[in-house]
Structure 1
Amino acid sequence: MGMREVASAAGVSVSTVANVLSRPAIVAPATVERVRRAIDEVGYVPNGPARQLRGRPSPIVGSVTLDLANPFHAEVNRGIEDRLAEAGCVLLTCSTDLRPATETRLLRVLEQQGVRGIIISPADAAQLPAISRRGTPVVLLDHPKERLDLCAVAVDDVLGGRLAGEHLRARGHRRIAYLGATVDPAPVARRRAGLRAAVGEIIDVRVDMHPPSLGAAAAAAAERIVALAPTAVVCLNDTAALGLLDGLAALGVRVPADLSVVGYDDLPFARRLAPALTTVRQPTYQLGQAAAELLLDEERPGHTHREVRFQPSLVVRSSTTYIDEHRLTG
């Protein structure tokens, strides 16, 4: 069975069937539904590679992320997937684990397979414009456009770090640690810079962020952090904060009475922790939706590369408190 049989069963032209398969957004929803029913009825299975050879775009979009096990990236990809599904696309997701060599290999495979486009949280953004110039649209995710000739979706992470720092300073904290990564993803580095701008000198503590060890590494860092005697810790994300809280509990350190803790992301579990986690909220699902929308816009006439920038916000819960003046003098 082929496209002609589908067209006959649906009462439409062959070109309409082709559009439903490759560009359903330009076809009336009722017609799309009629064609899809006809496809099921006649048992037609589109030949993806053959359609691409005839100049029709693949329905597959690649998402290259840092770590799919991280709930932040899972929620972002949910936003991407939901928006792409509306356009008849399928999302293929993969993780780099912060390893540039892995990222390069995945990008090469996706490009060779002729995917419709790539949405990426890059470890190394330098190679991406060349992929775009060769014909595969690329959208940066959680990364500013800067001088790159690409579309981008980003959060003002410098502001996010500053919000955390200003919150702690307002509560009397002056000796503040930042729990970051041994190899900084760009967003983590920007959060550290924002925190430092707000509070001045910080105690820099770094842990291995390569999965699946982040939570365990953060827990193991608890003893080292306590020895440095900060009054508050800002963590690179909520997953690290959760691990740190576990490590502090094992040491008998009370949060926030002995040490205030701030996370980043505002993942669903943050409000359910004991104590509930003060954190910097990102519009996670909306990040994914915006990235997918920019990728789909690449196919429209007159498209120009642009950046969508989101603002973070501080969510104050019970893991932070005012500093005890006796601790500062005693």
Structure 2
Amino acid sequence: MTTIREIAKQAGVSPAVVSRIINRDPALRVSAKTRSKIQQIIKETNYVPKSGIRNEIIVLMAISQQRQAQDLYFSNLHSAILHYCKCNNLKVLKTIWLPNENQIANLTRFKGAMMVGPFTASTIVKVKKVARSFVLVDDNTNVPETNQVKSNFDTITNAVLTNFWQRSREKITFVGGPITRISGAGTNWGDLIDIRLATYYDWIKKHAFAPDIINVGLTIDDGRKAAEQLIARKMNRPYTFPNAIIALNDMIARGLVDQLAASGIRIPQDVTVIGFDDLSITRIRKPTITSVNIPTNEIANAAVRLLRDQLNHSICGTNIITVPGKLVYRDSFPKVIR
């Protein structure tokens, strides 16, 4: 029986391209000539796609279901993953939200796995051993020979900080709580420094500035509490109030901006604020919030396609895909018109 690899060889393209044409991937960009050529070879070789067989996979989320409900970024990412799995003939047997004792420890062999969020390296290795195909999503853990899809949090955070500096915003505060890695037992393993915070530390050190960090949770209320802490510190004469703030997510940023504005602090004149995720909450009222758009749909689509192509044996080797984010300017840090 003809295989995808044989069709790809005849067409002079990669097996992944053939697989995506067979699966009618709407995101595929190839010329009409190439598409027609591949379809003709498929017809001539009497290739029969295994459309009736759905590869069964599991999705592991490195957060609890409660945390996901509070964090729209992970909620949107998970929903997009489920959507693209349906589009690509993948059946999600179950989603495991963590921490959840013994859920990982008791896993038996299955076809495919997608791990979303921060896990320990040993946990990733363990899951890879029981999964025929595997993709790590939205995590910067360095595990050799691991297929991975992530965004460029480090690059864009560095660009944001440099943007602040170029506009003479040199007293920069970082607001956001710690992130927890998940161990092989499915329990909290320990706090992990977020890559955005790590980038902040490195940038501040390089420019010989003093770091200023407020550790809070991830909700709007946590953002308000952070603003109250900053205002309380303002009463302390040695403390210099920030003129720029990076918030770990848009929920924190919304709470910060609302509470600071209610306390008579002008945004962006007195302090500029940038969040992450570009959620609708950044636009619901004035002042609107400048945010880094992380394209969850593109991340999910790339991750699902990568897992599908592994299951179909249409790719080989290690594939690391970076889906770039972009800064969306609004009131809290307006774009300079040159």
Q: TM-score with structure 1 length normalisation? A: 0.69
| SS of alignment partner, residue 322 of structure 2 | strand
Deviations 1:105-156 (A, max 9, x none): 43235x2484732332124233211221233533211123634331111112
Structure 1 pair 279–61 and aligned structure 2 pair: CA distance change class (3 A): same
Structure 1 pair 27–89 and aligned structure 2 pair: CA distance change class (3 A): farther
Amino acid at match of 1:118: M
**Identity between Structure 1 and Structure 2 (%):** 21
Give the CA deviation at 1:95.
3.6
Q: 1:91, 1:261 → 2: CA distance?
A: 41
1:215-230 to 2 correspondences below 5 Å: 215-226=220-231, 227=234, 228=239, 229-230=241-242
Give the CA deviation at 1:162.
1.1
CA contact (8 A) 2:56 2:92 kept: yes
Give the structure 2 partner of residue 162 of structure 1: 158
Give the structure 2 partner of residue 47 of structure 1: none
Deviations 1:185-235 (A, max 9, x none): 5334344346537855253323233xxx63322211112223241111111
Structure 2 unaligned segments of length 5 or more: list them.
1-21, 24-46, 179-190
Structure 1 pair 202–239 and aligned structure 2 pair: CA distance change class (3 A): farther
Amino acid at match of 1:318: D
1:3-18 to 2 correspondences below 5 Å: none
CA contact (8 A) 1:141 1:153 kept: yes
Partner of residue 90 from structure 1, selected from 69, 89, 92: 92
Amino acid at match of 2:264: G
Task: Determine whether 1:206 maps to 2:214.
Answer: yes
Partner of residue 131 from structure 1, selected from 103, 117, 127: 127
Give the structure 2 partner of residue 274 of structure 1: 286
Structure 1 unaligned segments of length 5 or more: list them.
1-23, 33-55, 97-101, 323-330
Give the CA deviation at 1:169.
1.6
Task: Determine whether 1:305 maps to 2:300.
Answer: no
Q: TM-score with structure 2 length normalisation? A: 0.68
Structure 1 pair 62–318 and aligned structure 2 pair: CA distance change class (3 A): same
Structure 1 pair 172–208 and aligned structure 2 pair: CA distance change class (3 A): closer
Deviations 1:245-297 (A, max 9, x none): 23323433222232211111212322334111112221221111111112222
CA contact (8 A) 1:163 1:314 kept: no
Give the CA deviation at 1:79.
2.3
Give the structure 2 partner of residue 325 of structure 1: none
CA RMSD of aligned residues (A): 3.1
CA contact (8 A) 1:83 1:292 kept: yes
Give the structure 1 partner of residue 328 of structure 2: 315
Q: 1:222, 1:175 → 2: CA distance?
A: 15
Amino acid at match of 1:74: S
Amino acid at match of 1:62: V
The number of equivalent residue pairs is 266
If each structure's helix is expressed as a fraction of its own residues, which one has the higher value? 1
Give the CA deviation at 1:184.
4.2
CA contact (8 A) 2:77 2:296 kept: yes
CA contact (8 A) 1:163 1:313 kept: no
| SS of alignment partner, residue 104 of structure 2 | helix
Give the structure 1 partner of residue 37 of structure 2: none
Structure 1 pair 291–198 and aligned structure 2 pair: CA distance change class (3 A): farther
| SS of alignment partner, residue 117 of structure 1 | strand
1:1-330 to 2 correspondences below 5 Å: 59-66=56-63, 67-69=67-69, 70-86=71-87, 87-90=89-92, 92-96=94-98, 102=99, 105-108=102-105, 111-112=107-108, 114=110, 116-144=112-140, 146-182=142-178, 183-184=191-192, 186-193=194-201, 195-196=203-204, 200-209=208-217, 214-226=219-231, 227=234, 228=239, 229-301=241-313, 303-320=316-333
CA contact (8 A) 1:177 1:204 kept: yes
Q: 2:208, 2:328 → 1: CA distance?
A: 22
Give the CA deviation at 1:179.
0.9
| SS of alignment partner, residue 298 of structure 1 | helix
Structure 1 pair 267–187 and aligned structure 2 pair: CA distance change class (3 A): farther
Q: 1:267, 1:198 → 2: CA distance?
A: 31
Structure 1 pair 222–145 and aligned structure 2 pair: CA distance change class (3 A): closer
